[in-house]
């Protein structure tokens, strides 16, 4: 009994079909792998973006009103501000017979007799609108009675209607967030610098702070108006897989004088 096998033509056709299928499958696998790698790269970049920007946004919202400034520092663009350590309401500032004293309701950190436990060593701000003095007065002594405290400062206050809400703020040391021309976002406070993100693609050379719609400026300060407080516009460029994407958000300073 003779068994018939494959002819040469049938083998060639089979090999050709298998080659076509193999090429299709390998192309699909390669494409799927590239998509996965690109998505992972974008996910890592966005996670890094969120880490630094969420902390920056949170700190800006609680910054001392009027203390925020934006500008160039060497080869970097920076936003600078002073955080609020504590705040309260004053009754009289300054008191009528002493230009270096204010009368205020006791803060939670005050005791029945004084506010020595409160961290007021960096300065106390009583704002005239949104104007912050270059040198904040520091509290040198305090005395409390019946929930009202008298705070003695190291410099005179100017008589005036400082605040509609009669608020005062205890300010902390200055904090700076800077984006370098190499794409690194860093935070500097109390002499220590921490890396908050890297790989940002802003063209700092094309940043013009006088143009509030400039898309290359990482930080843009919008002045207060009757309807809102200061607003800081944040925008950063990320580049992955040959594509660039701009991420922008506005942060409003929540505290008011």
| Of 111, 145, 171, the domain-final residue | 171
Distance CA 69, CA 81 (A): 7
* Residue 241, domain extent: 63-81+173-252
Across the chain, what does the average pLDDT equal?
Answer: 83
Same-domain status, 177 and 245 = yes
* Residues 99 and 156 placed together within one structural domain of the fold: yes
The whole-number pLDDT of residue 193 equals 93
The residue among 171, 198, 227 that closes a domain is: 171
Last residue of a domain, one of 126, 143, 171: 171
Could you tell me the CATH number of the domain that includes residue 101? 2.40.10
The answer on 166 and 92 residing in a single domain is yes
pLDDT at 78: 95
Which pair of structure tokens corresponds to residue 96? 């009528």
Give the pLDDT of residue 38: 61
**Domain count of the chain?**
2
235 shares a domain with 184: yes
If you average pLDDT over residues 24-32, what whole number do you get?
A: 68
- pLDDT tens, residue by residue, 73-99: 889 999 999 999 888 899 988 888 888
Q: Are residues 99 and 133 in the same domain?
A: yes
Render pLDDT for 100-136 as a digit per residue (tens, 0 to 9): 999 999 999 999 999 988 888 778 888 766 667 778 8
């Amino acid at each position: 009994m003779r068994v018939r096998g494959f002819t040469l033509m049938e083998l060639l056709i089979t090999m050709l079909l298998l080659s076509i299928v193999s090429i299709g499958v390998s192309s699909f696998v390669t494409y799927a792998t590239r998509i996965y790698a690109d998505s992972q790269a974008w996910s890592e970049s966005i996670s890094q973006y969120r880490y630094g920007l969420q902390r920056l946004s949170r700190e800006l919202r609680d910054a001392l009103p009027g203390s925020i400034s934006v500008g160039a520092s060497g080869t970097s663009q920076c936003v600078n501000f002073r955080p609020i350590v504590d705040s309260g309401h004053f009754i009289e500032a300054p008191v009528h017979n002493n230009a270096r004293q204010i009368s205020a309701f006791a803060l939670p950190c005050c005791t029945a007799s004084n506010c020595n436990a409160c961290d007021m060593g960096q300065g106390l701000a009583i704002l005239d609108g949104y104007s912050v003095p270059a040198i904040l007065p520091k509290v040198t002594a305090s005395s409390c009675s019946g929930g009202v405290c008298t705070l003695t400062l190291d410099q005179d206050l100017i008589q005036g209607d400082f605040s509609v809400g009669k608020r005062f703020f205890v300010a902390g040391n200055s904090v700076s967030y800077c984006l370098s021309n190499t794409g690194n976002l860093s935070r500097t406070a109390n002499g220590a610098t921490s890396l908050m993100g890297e790989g940002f693609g802003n063209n700092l050379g094309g940043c013009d702070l006088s143009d509030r719609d400039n898309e290359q400026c990482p930080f843009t300060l919008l002045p207060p108006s009757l309807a809102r407080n200061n607003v800081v516009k944040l925008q950063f460029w990320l580049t992955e897989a040959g594509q660039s994407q701009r991420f922008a958000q506005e942060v409003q300073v929540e505290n008011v004088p």
